[in-house]
Amino acid sequence: EAAEIGLIGLGVMGSNLALNIAEKGNRIAVYNRTGAATEAFMASAGDLAERIVPCYTMEEFVAAIRPPRPIIIMIKAGDPVDQQMTALQEYLSAGDIMIDAGNANFRDTMARFARLRDTSLTFIGMGVSGGEEGARHGPSIMVGGTEESWKRVEPVLTSIAARFDGEPCAAWLGTDGAGHFVKTIHNGIEYADMQMIAEIYGIFRDGLGRSAGEIGTIFEGWNRGRLNSYLIEITASVLAARDPISGGAMVDMILDKAGQKGTGKWSVIEAQQMGVPATAIEAAVAARSLSSQKSQREAAAAVFGGGHADFSLSGGAGLEEDLELALFAAKIGAYAQGFAVMAEASREFGWNLPMPTIARIWRAGCIIRSQFLDEITKAFTAMPDAPNLILTPAFAEMLKQSLPSLRRVVAAAVASGLPVPALSSALGYFDAYRQARGTANLIQAQRDFFGAHGFDRLDGKDFHHGPWGSGLQDFARL
Ligand code: NDP
């Protein structure tokens, strides 16, 4: 009996994905560059081994799959994918589909898609989120490619995806790079979500003197409310964990330098490239970079003093509720920005990205999964062409309720010297976004002054340069 699908790359993600595929009743052929990894994988597959065909040559691997053959490539991103594609290509026949499921840059995906366009083969770029656990038991799957190739893989992919209210978190989002682009923005939002949580943690720890355990209990409570999400849930668990060596809180023993693999940075670069403000995501990426400059921060603390005053709020609903609402408002900002970047990319690359579907497949399986994404699904379903999430009636209302808390929290944090770059970026974005008369009139005047760039007038009159410099005399003559 032929396999329904093939998979190359039995690393952490590939082997978990293969077990998930087999567990859902699909027959799968697997191949790994190093045969020993295939043997070890089969030995660990247990009962699922009966639906898995281990292959040790490219020829037997390809022959084991039912045509047209969908082949998932789940290996180290970058050049290895191109090498693997080239090696595989000569064994394939018309209609076969190569699927890159790694964390590719969507521009590489577009190039790979284009490269295969003149052949009888086709390419899918597939974003997979949820880490090891998601791959094994239900990831969120974001697919870019032709609709025809999606139809071939849809049954298998929907069978292995996470579910929210019974609906699979896997969808076809558009051609070529659409899936990997959406995965990139997912990761950008994830960076912002994590950074904002860390900033609130910092207020509790440094401004209010709370212990990790105490903060964990607060997050645990928040996870039952409007902030209910995987990231809040794991934050509560992390804060509760004890270090087996010192016996203290685990988090207190961890070096404050955050790593990054590039997807957050890509989302910011693409946002800038398209001229879409994504300030909360930018702040989060920059905060990780600053975190890694540990020795410089230590030197600066010695020069300027790293201390801070006690954090206190006046007015408002009460300290903890204000912090909860502030985090909620800022979170709306990060998602609004992420979705705005996707809307612009959709126009620029002709993808026709379905916003309600994207929110729908992020509700479960992925790292940013939450109740909140169900609200976004509903808001975009009701208003699919909303220019911004915060202009949908539901989110406008939520933001009106929570924005005063964000303002109080950011003001108090700034006053006491606590860094809140992502929270304050979200606030700055809202304040600028709702300003019908901004201050760019002055920027235009400055640009005209030094570069004669010209400006448009509010009254529409045909007079496009200011009375500055030599122009002053011209103005006097008018
Ligand atoms: P691992 O390091 O666990 O596995 C790497 C795999 O790539 C191995 O099977 C390895 O084969 C193979 N490989 C490396 N170089 C080559 C090459 N030149 N030719 C052929 N095969 C090669 O990686 P992961 O499973 O963690 O990640 C795989 C992909 O999934 C990456 O793109 C990653 O960014 C992405 N991803 C990872 C997530 C995670 O949480 N880890 C989440 C979502 C996506 P060999 O055994 O022969 O060395």
| Among protein residues, the one whose CA lies closest to atom 42 of ligand 1 | 131
- The pLDDT assigned to 474 comes to 53
Q: Is 76 in the pocket of ligand 1 (CB under 6 A)?
A: yes
| Among protein residues, the one whose CA lies closest to atom 40 of ligand 1 | 131
Q: What is the pLDDT along the chain (478 residues), one digit of tens a residue?
A: 999 999 999 999 999 999 999 999 999 999 999 999 999 999 999 999 999 999 999 999 999 999 999 999 999 999 999 999 999 999 999 999 999 999 999 999 999 999 999 899 999 999 999 999 999 999 999 999 999 999 999 999 999 999 999 999 999 999 999 999 999 999 999 999 999 999 999 999 999 999 999 999 999 999 999 999 999 999 999 999 999 999 999 999 999 999 998 899 999 999 999 999 999 999 999 999 999 999 999 999 999 998 788 999 987 779 999 999 999 999 999 999 999 999 999 999 999 999 999 999 999 999 999 999 999 999 999 998 899 999 999 999 999 999 999 999 999 999 999 999 999 999 999 999 999 999 999 999 999 999 999 999 999 999 999 999 765 555 555 5
CA–CA distance, 367 with 127 (Å, rounded to integer): 13
- The pLDDT assigned to 166 comes to 96
Alpha carbon of residue 136 to chain centroid: 20
Catalytic residue among 39, 90, 147, 183: 183
- The pLDDT assigned to 273 comes to 97
Cα 346 to Cα 242, 294, 354, 384, 432: the distances in Å are 45, 39, 9, 13, 24
State the CB neighbour count (10 A cutoff) for residue 472.
11
CA–CA distance, 370 with 219 (Å, rounded to integer): 14
Residue 183 designated active-site: yes
DSSP per residue over 365-378, as a string?
A: SSTT-BHHHHHHHH
Q: Please report the ipTM that was assigned to this predicted complex.
A: 0.97
Distance from the alpha carbon of residue 66 to the mean position of ligand 1, in angstroms: 25
Degrees to nearest 5, angle at CA 166 with 165 and 171: 105
Catalytic residue among 23, 24, 133, 190: 190
Residue 132 designated active-site: no
CA–CA distance, 359 with 14 (Å, rounded to integer): 25
Strand intervals (E) in 44-197: 52-55, 70-73, 97-100, 122-129, 140-144, 163-164, 167-168, 170-174
- Domains, the chain, ordered by start: 5-176 (3.40.50.720), 184-433 (1.10.1040.10), 445-477 (no CATH)
Q: Establish whether 308 is an annotated binding residue.
A: no
- The pLDDT assigned to 309 comes to 85
Q: Is 179 in the pocket of ligand 1 (CB under 6 A)?
A: no
